[in-house]
Amino acid sequence: MKRRCFLLSSLAAAQAQEPDPIRVDVSLVNVPFSVTNAGGQLITQLNAEDFEVFEDGVPQKIRFFSRATDSPLTLAILADVSGSQEDFLKEHRRDLRDFLKTVLRPKDQATLICFGRNIYEVSPADAQPDKLDEALKEFQKAKRIASYRKLGNPEMRDNSSSFYDAVIESAKALQGLAGRRAILIFSDGEDNSSARNLLDAIETAQEHAATVFALRYTELRKGQWTARNKYGRSVMQRLANETGGLEFDAAEDDHLREAFRKIADQLRSSYDLAYTSSQTGEDGTFRKIRIAARREGLRTRHKTGYYARPK
């Protein structure tokens, strides 16, 4: 009896002394980026050793690195169908068709999302990308749009353009999909009906590693920019800059195909790296990212940082 009690007490002591399971936070900060030389030419044959990455000025160890040359693209095509874009609907379809021909390859995928007062999934990512221009045409001419799936939280909206909410839902639509993620926006950048704001849109795009490329279609008043026009332009410029993308004025028809080529080149010629932040805690603060090339004369383009939000 004594021997049995001794064994039981020894077992209990051993169990009490067992250390708690080790939990390791392996959350990575993902940063897609591109590199150009002094002449603006994209540089594609660099390795992890050619770069340094800093978070809030502190060097970080690169855990993952790859080139995007052969990676598939996963795009969210975001088309504005609000009242301010009525005069540009044909241009949207024409330019979308040209973009798809210029950029997409058979292994790529794209989802089409349209927004005005509300936000709708017009074509899911597994649809045929070469049919997206027809899908956009059908949506623009639809008498009833109840058959299309609404995206986002149900909101009471009084006005006609939910631009910020649409950007957020487009970034979320890319979540879990493989490939290099990007959002292509056809809009004037003006918003009067969203529940969220520009900073929310930027943060969500950065969180989902979605690079924003913006094509701006602006209805001028007597050929002059209004205050609202200038506001929309600054919004689209900032979205592109903060996510490492590009912004173009679609009114410059002669340069639009060149714009598509630049977008395609950047997407096909970029890199991916990931690191585990040396900063502990998720305090909600913004952490600034800087990727520096070790070679002289090279410049990098990438998202400016991320917010350390609790998962």
User: Do residue 189 and residue 262 come from a single domain?
Assistant: yes
Residue 12 lies in a domain: no
Residue 14 lies in a domain: no
User: Do residue 160 and residue 183 come from a single domain?
Assistant: yes
User: Do residue 225 and residue 175 come from a single domain?
Assistant: yes
Residue 40 lies in a domain: yes
Q: How many CB atoms sit inside 10 A of residue 19's CB?
A: 5
User: Do residue 174 and residue 245 come from a single domain?
Assistant: yes
User: Do residue 134 and residue 144 come from a single domain?
Assistant: yes
CATH number of the domain within which 178 lies? 3.40.50.410
User: Do residue 63 and residue 154 come from a single domain?
Assistant: no
pLDDT score of 19: 41
pLDDT score of 251: 80
Residue 5 lies in a domain: no
Model confidence, pTM: 0.86
pLDDT score of 215: 94
User: Do residue 135 and residue 282 come from a single domain?
Assistant: no
Q: How many domains does the chain have?
A: 2
d(CA 78, CA 186): 6
d(CA 34, CA 240): 14
Residue 294: domain span: 29-69+270-307
Task: Kindly give the confidence (pLDDT) of every residue in the chain, 311 residues in length, as a single tens digit, with 9 standing for 90 and above.
Answer: 444 443 334 434 444 444 443 333 447 899 999 999 999 999 999 999 999 999 999 999 999 999 877 678 899 999 999 988 988 988 899 899 888 888 888 889 999 999 999 999 999 988 888 789 899 999 998 877 888 999 999 899 988 999 999 999 999 999 988 888 999 999 999 999 999 999 999 999 999 999 999 999 998 888 888 999 999 999 999 999 999 999 999 887 567 788 888 888 898 899 999 999 999 888 889 999 999 999 999 999 999 999 998 86
Residue 183 sits at the vertex; the CA angle it makes with 293 and 90, to the nearest 5 degrees, is: 135
Residue 205 lies in a domain: yes
Residue 9 lies in a domain: no
User: Do residue 302 and residue 239 come from a single domain?
Assistant: no
Residue 55 lies in a domain: yes
Residue 216 lies in a domain: yes
**Angle at which helices 227-243 and 198-207 cross, to 10°:** 20
pLDDT score of 204: 96
pLDDT score of 11: 36
User: Do residue 129 and residue 54 come from a single domain?
Assistant: no
User: Do residue 250 and residue 110 come from a single domain?
Assistant: yes
User: Do residue 196 and residue 79 come from a single domain?
Assistant: yes
pLDDT score of 107: 87
C-alpha distances in angstroms, 167 versus 141, 151, 152, 284, 310? 23, 11, 11, 21, 22
User: Do residue 56 and residue 125 come from a single domain?
Assistant: no
